[in-house]
Amino acid sequence: MIKKNLLLAEDDELLASLLDYRLQKGGYNVHLAKDGRDVKEYLKTATPDIIVSDIMMPYFSGIELIDYVRNQLNSKIPIIIISSAGNEENVLSAFELGANDFISKPVSPSELLVRVGRELNKT
């Protein structure tokens, strides 16, 4: 079985480390990006099967990322947004722009795995 590629864009080191660990254990090839620049670089050459991104990141917010992927790259890659408390309007914008799902902090790795699996099963 081919492993699915997952792009994880998260600037919080602790959370990123934990999610990276769990997602890899969950059977995914994880590429970890620390900020929007990393993400852009990565997307120039690679096409992940799914993107999990924090809604607030340096240089390139999660919102901008969705816009980029949907409108610039014209891609339908499933995108799951990680939001934090007080970011409700952004979550709505994210959905409007084309995000598929969201999960709020504190992120339960188990829950994230379920959501990722669900999105991938749809395609």
Partner 1 sequence: MKPKNLLSQLSELESTLNNFSFEELSADEATRLKKSFEAFKTHLEKRIWGEDISPDHDSKLESLKEKEQLQKAQEMLIATVSHEIRTPLSGIIGFADLLKEGELSEDQQHKVNAIQSASNSLMDIINELLEYSKLSVGLENFEMLDFNFFSIIQDVVYLCNTLMLGKDVKLEVDVDKNIPENLIGDPSKLSQILLNLLGNSIKFVEEGEIMLKIKLLRQGEEKVVLDFIVTDTGIGISKEDLEHIFGSFKQANQQTFSKYGGAGLGLNIVKQIVDKLNGDIKVESTLGVGTTFKFTLPYTTGSSTSKSKSQQTEISSEEVKGMRILVFEDNELNQRLIERRLNSWGCKTYITENPIYGLNLLETDPIDIVLMDLRMPIMSGFEVTEKIRKSTKKEVAEIPIIALTADFTFDDKNECEKNGINDFILKPFSPEELLSKLIKNRNDIQTNFKLNATSDGNQIDHTVSDSSFDLNSVLEDCMGELEMLEELIGLYKRNALEFIGNVKMKLQDGDSEGVAFAAHKIKCGLKMMQTMELFSIVEQLNTTAKTTKDKNHMQFLLNRFVQEYPKAEKMIDEELRRLKKNGNE
Give min distance, CB of 38 to partner 1, in A. 15
Phi-psi region of 86 (alpha: psi -120 to 50; beta: other; left: phi over 0): left
- Closest separation between CB of residue 13 and partner 1, Å? 6
Q: Please, what is the angle between helix 13-25 and helix 109-122, to 10°?
A: 60
Contact string 22-61 vs partner 1 (x = CB under 8 A): x--x------------------------------x-x---
Nearer to partner 1, 1 or 85 (CB): 85
- Outline where DSSP puts E strands in the chain: 5-9, 29-33, 50-54, 79-83, 101-104
Q: Which residues are CB-contacts of 106 (< 8 A; sequence separation ≥ 6)?
A: none
Edge-to-edge strands, sheet with 5-9: 29-33, 5-9, 50-54, 79-83, 101-104
Stretch binding partner 1 (CB under 8 A), from 41-49, 70-78, 91-99, 104-112: 104-112
Site size with partner 1, rule: CB under 8 A: 19
> Is residue 123 part of the contact set for partner 1 (CB under 8 A)?
no
110 is an interface residue for partner 1 by CB under 8 A: yes
Binding residues for partner 1 (CB under 8 A): 11-15, 17-18, 21-22, 25, 56, 58, 84-85, 105-106, 108-110
